[in-house]
Amino acid sequence: METQVAGPALPESRGAVSAAVTRFLRGAGPPPDSRVIAGADPFGDDLQLALYLCYELHYRGFADVDADLEWDPELLRCRAALEWPFLESLRDRATRHVSAQDALDDLLVEPAGGDGGGGVGDFLQDEGELWQVREYAAQRSLYHLKEADPHAWVLPRLWGRAKAGMAAVEFDEFGGGRAERVHARLFADLMTDLGLDPTYGRYVDAAGAEALALVNLMSLFGLHRALRGALVGHFATVEITSSPGSRRLARAMRRTGAGPAAEHFYDEHVEADAVHEQVVRRDVVAGLLEEEPQLDADVAFGVDATNHLEDALAARLLTAWRTGRSSLRTPV
């Protein structure tokens, strides 16, 4: 059996569920049973870390964890038991829109994902300090160091105009064929500017459940063909809100003296995502719904679920920062 040695170390567990998953990955015990999982908060640290551990086996894995566990039947059953309460809780709470058109239109006229109108981007732009910028980067590193990877799962589930549009945007995210321009690489350079460790997985222990949940949402939607509409809704939310949000964050980088690579990361997203927004709306979303109109409500759910979790992360950050406290579980 092949052993994965290149991934990061396993993070510290945060409760009974994640502890059992960690023991299983180390070959030291069974996965958590359904009763233990049922007692965990669907949005809490313990369940979200356990789900993150399961999903990461589909990305870079963990040091000294057998790569064959990616498709272990016991672990897949455990993952399904973790996914169900997370997904059902989102369906209960993230139900603002019933159509994709209404959901996407609102993204253009309202602050979305906790940004704008007094959100995280405005706070960092107007009054944030360098230590808060560093914390923001550490929380976001769980996604940005594998930026666009979760969205690539949906490509085999699309066809026609939707597939072509999605592939075009992903090509840009992956640097247009140039390794030094891959967005994950640009974010690693941003972290270096900020004096952070750009090693993949370095800040999982520091990040809160809200940051874990956002990354898990992408993997959940991407790894299930039945949720392809929700993944497209999520992707549309990211691309439509990214350009104005990145403009605020670019100003924050300049005002706090974060460094040229930090400025460049968000400047790049201001320009690129303004173009991506049009491609996503015209080709990816419209193309998908032209072929599969029954997925309209799923696209709307993907938008609402993304904004629900973004709002939760924004609340964590701003509640801590406005009282002078760290938003992280451990210092960077």
CATH of the domain at 301: 1.20.910.10
Which range of residues forms the domain containing residue 77? 3-92
Whether residue 138 sits in one domain with residue 54:
no
Whether residue 140 sits in one domain with residue 18:
no
Q: Which amino acid is at 127?
A: E
Whether residue 84 sits in one domain with residue 227:
no
Q: Where are the beta strands (DSSP E) in the chain?
A: 3-4, 65-66
Q: Does residue 332 sit within a domain?
A: no
Whether residue 130 sits in one domain with residue 20:
no
Whether residue 117 sits in one domain with residue 19:
no
Enumerate residues 6+ apart whose C-beta is below 8 A from 226. none
Confidence at residue 1, expressed as pLDDT on a 0 to 100 scale: 39
- pLDDT tens profile 5-41: 479 999 999 999 999 999 999 999 999 999 999 999 9
Whether residue 116 sits in one domain with residue 162:
yes
Tokens, residue 203: 């800040």
Whether residue 130 sits in one domain with residue 15:
no
Q: How far apart are CA 271 and CA 261, in angstroms?
A: 16
Total number of domains constituting the chain = 2
Give, for all 332 residues of the chain, the pLDDT tens digit.
344 447 999 999 999 999 999 999 999 999 999 999 999 999 999 999 999 999 999 999 999 999 999 999 999 999 999 999 999 999 999 988 999 999 999 998 745 444 445 699 999 999 999 999 999 999 999 999 999 999 999 999 999 999 999 999 999 999 999 999 999 999 999 999 999 999 999 999 999 999 999 999 999 999 999 999 999 999 999 999 988 999 999 999 999 999 999 999 999 998 877 888 899 999 999 999 999 999 999 999 999 999 999 999 999 999 999 999 999 999 88
End-to-end, the C-alpha distance of the chain in Å comes to: 36
Query: DSSP assignment, residue 13?
Result: P
Whether residue 74 sits in one domain with residue 115:
no
Confidence at residue 290, expressed as pLDDT on a 0 to 100 scale: 97
Q: Does residue 327 sit within a domain?
A: no
